[in-house]
Chains A and B, each alone.
Chain A
Amino acid sequence: MWRDALLVAGKDLRIEARSRVGLWQVLPFAFLVLILLAFAIGPDDAPLRHAAPGIFWIAVLFSTVLAIQRSVAIESGEGTRDGLRLSGIDPAGIFLGKAASIGLQLAVLQIVLWAGVTFLFDVRVHVVWLAITASVLATVGLSCAGVLYGALSAGLSVRDTLLPLLVLPVLAPVLLAGTKAWQAALAGNASAGTEWLRLLIPFSLIYLVVGIVLYGPLQESA
């Protein structure tokens, strides 16, 4: 399973590295979300600083949807899904590989995006370990749930419009917990932030386990 996961993750990441869709489309889109939300909130410093973690996580969430769509699109070529299915690779391995690929891309995106937030909104993280832990946990949850919903919508003619409707309400707890943990990390209030890690841990674990179990049946129905 782990070897298969590495193979699939390597394949997806190689495709991303060569096509540069993430670099030229997803990343600029995330920055666009930052700027648009800043327009919506107004030019005053105080509300913007207060909203910065939320804006950051909204940008991450929307980018996750794009990353999932991209991950599904890779497999949407003629017979590609069948090829993957017939290759004898463990479905759990495919799930883990795809999740790892999306997770890695989201991690890079978050690092760059955080630099952007620091620069644009003039905020500083005081509890670094809290922010990093929250981000890692959220990334696991986002990518696992994302791959599952990607598989659910794969092969549908209305895939691109249906996916956000299906996946965004499911990811809402990550937005809440991520925002709260980052707010605490900015304010230097570690204990308030660790409360929210207690939500991110089960979320990530549940979708990791459910994905490993359900990806096989889902793949057959795509």
Chain B
Amino acid sequence: MSATLAPQSSSTESVRTSTPRWLSVIGILGVIAMAFTVWLGLWITPPDVTQGNLARLLYIHPPIATVALYWAGGVAALASLLYLWPRTRSFFWDRLAASAVEVGAVFSALTLVTGSLWGRPAWGTWWTWDARLTSTALLLLLEIGYMALRRVPAEPAIRARRCAVAALLVAIDVPIVHFSVNWWNTLHQGGTFLDPGFKLHAHGSMLWTFLLGFIAFTLIFVWLLGMRYRIEVLQDHVGDQELEVTLAERWHEGDELAPVGAGPVGVDSDDGGAA
């Protein structure tokens, strides 16, 4: 995997521009699984006894939340740790962590949107200060903070280390935020409505649709993660190429000013500032 995706940002290394086959296969499988989830969820499964058609949203909401919190969060934290660990330090982990946070942010936002859509008819309000809603919103803000930090231009190694530390700090904070908000709310009122355990009591087609939803969103997550990783590699590659073009242009400027063979040394030392 890492061989085709060329983790090192060496300018001479050729970078593959087409999508690797395994990634396309995962993408196609994800779309098929998703189509089946939609078909089963909307047409085949019966309405829920208590919630009616509203329960159909639960085929996608818990899987999205699982991807956002556990898959994306886990990958980001682990990859950041592996980047900081001197023995495993590689830009592969840095890019993977950044991709996981970005994809995770999308899924966190989707968790909030689908939760809100469910909450409006179920609770009669788009938003309530439920522990899960609040901690997911904070998670999204933490992820946006990480992305903002990543956008700040810096040398790749410095940016990577800074972002890895930031991701680890977020990873440490998420459980604390979760507990604190949970405590904050449950001290006020009874148990939360959103108990993920209760759906496992569902039977037959409902249970299968629910499980298929998890598989579909996990596949889509892996696919998005792979695609985002590729964009990261290509971005670095383009950056390197631009640098090479700029360097070549400056060398030519030197050719015009000085006779061949005498000029480039002085021009070269200027390029550090320009690059």
Name A's interface SS: helix
Give the residues from 154 to 176 in chain B that come closer than 8 angstroms, CB to CB, to chain A. 154, 157-158, 161-162, 165-166, 168-170, 172-173, 176
Contact of A210 (CB < 8 Å), options: B172, B181, B184: B172
Interface residues on B, range: 20 to 34
A145 to chain B: closest residue by CB: B169
Q: Which residues of A contact B184 (CB under 8 A)?
A: 176, 180
Asked if residues B180 and A199 are in contact (CB atoms below 8 Å), the reply is yes
Collect the chain A residues with CB atoms within 8 Å of residue B84's CB: 217
User: Contact at A169–B176, with CB atoms within 8 Å?
Assistant: no
Q: A192 to B187, alpha carbons, bound, how many Å?
A: 9
**Quick check: A152 and B149 within 8 Å, CB to CB?**
yes
Q: Does B177 contact A (CB under 8 A)?
A: yes
> Any chain B CB within 8 A of the CB of A177?
yes
* Contacting pair A217 B152 (CB below 8 A): no
CA distance A145 to B154 in the complex (A): 23
Residues on A with beta carbons closer than 8 Å to the beta carbon of B142:
169-170
Interface contact A162-B138, CB-CB below 8 Å: no
The smallest C-beta distance from A124 to any residue of chain B, in angstroms, reads 23
Closest Cβ of chain B to A86, distance in Å, is: 18
A173 within 8 A of B: yes
**Which residues of the other chain, A, contact B177 by a CB distance below 8 angstroms?**
169, 172-173
Q: Does B191 contact A (CB under 8 A)?
A: no
Chain B residues whose CB sits within 8 angstroms of the CB of A220 once the complex forms: 161
Q: In the complex the two chains form, is A210's CB within 8 Å of B169's CB?
A: yes
Interface string of B132-157 (1 = CB under 8 A from A): 00000010011011001100101001
- Report A163-176 CB contacts with B as 1/0, cut-off 8 Å: 00110011011001
A107 interface residue (CB < 8 Å to B): no
Interface assignment of B179: CB less than 8 Å from any CB of chain A: yes
Cβ contacts under 8 Å, A202 to chain B: 176
- Main secondary structure, interface of B, reads helix
Q: Report the bound CA distance from A210 to B170 in whole Å.
A: 12
**List of A residues within 8 angstroms of B22 by Cβ:** none
Judge whether A206 is part of the interface by a CB distance below 8 angstroms: yes
On chain B, the residues within 8 Å of A122 by CB distance are none
Chain A residues, Cβ within 8 Å of B165:
152, 214, 217-218, 221
Instruction: Give Cα A48–Cα B177 distance, bound, in whole angstroms.
Output: 26
Judge whether A148 and B180 touch: CB under 8 Å: no
Q: Does B183 contact A (CB under 8 A)?
A: yes
- Which residue of A165, A169, A214 is within 8 Å of B168 (Cβ)? A214
> How far does the alpha carbon of A114 sit from the alpha carbon of B157 in the complex, in Å?
45
Q: Is the CB of A172 within 8 A of B138?
A: yes
- Report yes or no: A195 in contact with B183, Cβ–Cβ below 8 A: yes
Q: Which residue of the partner chain, among B149, B158, B179, B181, contacts A162 with CB atoms under 8 Å? A: B149
Of A158, A166, A210, A214, the most chain B CB neighbours within 10 A belong to A166
Q: Is the CB of B180 within 8 A of A173?
A: yes
Q: In whole Å, how far is A54's beta carbon from the nearest beta carbon of chain B?
A: 12
What chain B residues lie within 8 Å of A172 (beta carbons)?
138, 177, 180
Interface residues of B (CB under 8 A from A): 84, 138, 141-142, 144-145, 148-149, 152, 154, 157-158, 161-162, 165-166, 168-170, 172-173, 176-177, 179-181, 183-184, 187
Give the interface of A toward B (CB within 8 A).
145, 148-149, 152-153, 156-158, 162, 165-166, 169-170, 172-173, 176-177, 180, 192, 195-196, 199, 202-203, 206, 210, 214, 217-218, 220-221
Known A166-B166, A176-B180, A221-B165; 10 more pairs at CB < 8 Å: A152-B149, A153-B149, A166-B149, A170-B142, A206-B172, A214-B168, A217-B84, A217-B161, A221-B157, A221-B161
16 CB < 8 A contacts A-B: A145-B169, A152-B149, A153-B149, A156-B152, A162-B145, A162-B149, A162-B152, A165-B141, A169-B145, A172-B138, A172-B177, A173-B177, A176-B181, A217-B165, A218-B162, A221-B161
